Amino acid sequence: MRVDVDGSIVEQRILEQAGRIQGYGAVTAWGALRWHGATFFDGTSEGGTIELPVPLNSHTKLNADPRFTMTQEQLAPTEWSVVDGIPVATIQRALFDEVRRRPSVREAANAISMTAAARLTSRHLFALYVAQRHAWTGVPHARMAVALAHDECRSPQEFRMLLVWKLDADLPQPLCNREVYDLDGRLIGIPDLFDPVAGLAGEYQGEDHKDGKRHREDVEREERFRDHGIETFEVVGGELGRRQFIAARMHHARARAKFLPPESRAWTLETPPWRTPPEPLDAYLHRIGRADQLWRT
């Protein structure tokens, strides 16, 4: 049975376990990331079927309880603060702890990518943080995760699809959530995954795409892609465990693609002059002053 991951319940669990910290310490890993606003950290695993204990870093002995886990690793004064009433690790330290907590490199990279999706840090800034942690347990694992992470995926499932493309299908690095226009500057669509060399768009269709309105929009977008010479493929909910099956589908779709030279394409990646292009994540973090803060931590 799937556990209840209602937002208020997740936050309540974090708040309750944070109350155990009486001395020096903080909530860390997924609990701190959730508290900072990274909503994809819902406190569950195994597809939402298992409720995770809240991770604490406490330098005071606590009585064992299955509702939390505890570490007494070094926690610098600059690596935690009180946020909305509870002590939490900084974004970078919380992510470092979460990445090392996840045994799968793919899922550790997913944690980095979903923190980036929440616009809390970037792959580049987190790589700088990891580079300062030479002697820490789990650093090689964190480095491998950084190498796989991506700033532009918008959901965990999108990122898992991206990894199937890169690792299982062994295909060239695609673009993620990039705006594609027709030659008159009209938006054709923003595919989850786009191979500009082949002219191939990939989409992940979750449970929320089954209702009438979303399904109609998906069909209309696919028609627009095909009308402009762009081949498409889909990955639907529940399929991502069948990596080789999906990798074969990706190869078949790429074999059908047109591979048109730029001068023959009916689409472009150039943003029309009347539209402001999306702001890159690192530029956004620098603009709001968070990049300097993240570097200091």
Query: Which tens digits make up the pLDDT trace of 121-131?
Result: 999 999 999 99
Looking at residue 216, what is its pLDDT? 83
The answer to whether the CB of 26 falls within 8 A of the CB of 54 is no
Q: Is 50 exceeded by the pLDDT of residue 112?
A: yes
Choice among 4-18, 23-37, 53-67, 280-294 with the minimum mean pLDDT: 4-18
* Distance, CA of 73 to CA of 79 (rounded, Å): 12
- Residue 164 CA to residue 250 CA, distance in Å, equals 9
Task: Find tokens 């931590």 and name the residue.
Answer: 297
Q: Would you state the pLDDT for residue 206?
A: 83
One-letter amino acid identity for 109? Answer: A
Among residues 153, 37, 11, which one has the least CA distance to residue 95?
37
At 212 the pLDDT is 58
Whose tokens are 């010479």? That residue is: 229
DSSP character string of 37-85: T-TT--SEETTTTEEPPEEEEESS-----TTEEEE-----GGGEEEETT
Share of the chain above pLDDT 70, in %: 94
Q: Which of 122, 112, 129 is nearest to 41 (CA)?
A: 112
Burial of 78 (0-12, 13-18, 19+ CB in 10 A): exposed
Instruction: Grade residue 279 by pLDDT with cuts at 50, 70 and 90.
Output: very high
User: pLDDT above 90 covers what percent of the chain?
Assistant: 83
With cut-offs at 50, 70 and 90, classify the pLDDT of residue 1: very low
Average pLDDT over the chain, rounded to an integer: 93
Q: What is the pLDDT of residue 293?
A: 72
- pTM score, whole prediction: 0.93
The per-residue pLDDT for 217 is: 86
d(CA 28, CA 84): 15
Burial class, 264, CB count within 10 angstroms (exposed 0-12 / middle 13-18 / buried 19+): exposed
Higher pLDDT, 147 or 5: 147
Q: How far apart are CA 36 and CA 122, in angstroms?
A: 15
Q: Average the pLDDT over each of 42-51, 158-167, 196-205 and give the range with the smallest value.
A: 42-51
As a whole number of angstroms, the distance between CA 291 and CA 151 comes to 14
Give burial (CB, 10 Å; 0-12/13-18/19+) of 138: middle
Helices (H) then strands (E): counts for the chain: 11, 14
Ranking 50-54, 212-216, 260-264, 270-274 by mean pLDDT, the lowest is: 212-216
pLDDT in tens, 23-72: 899 999 999 999 999 999 999 987 778 999 999 999 988 899 999 999 99
Determine the pLDDT at residue 101: 97
Per-residue pLDDT of 226-263, as tens digits, reads 999 999 999 998 899 999 999 999 999 999 999 999 99
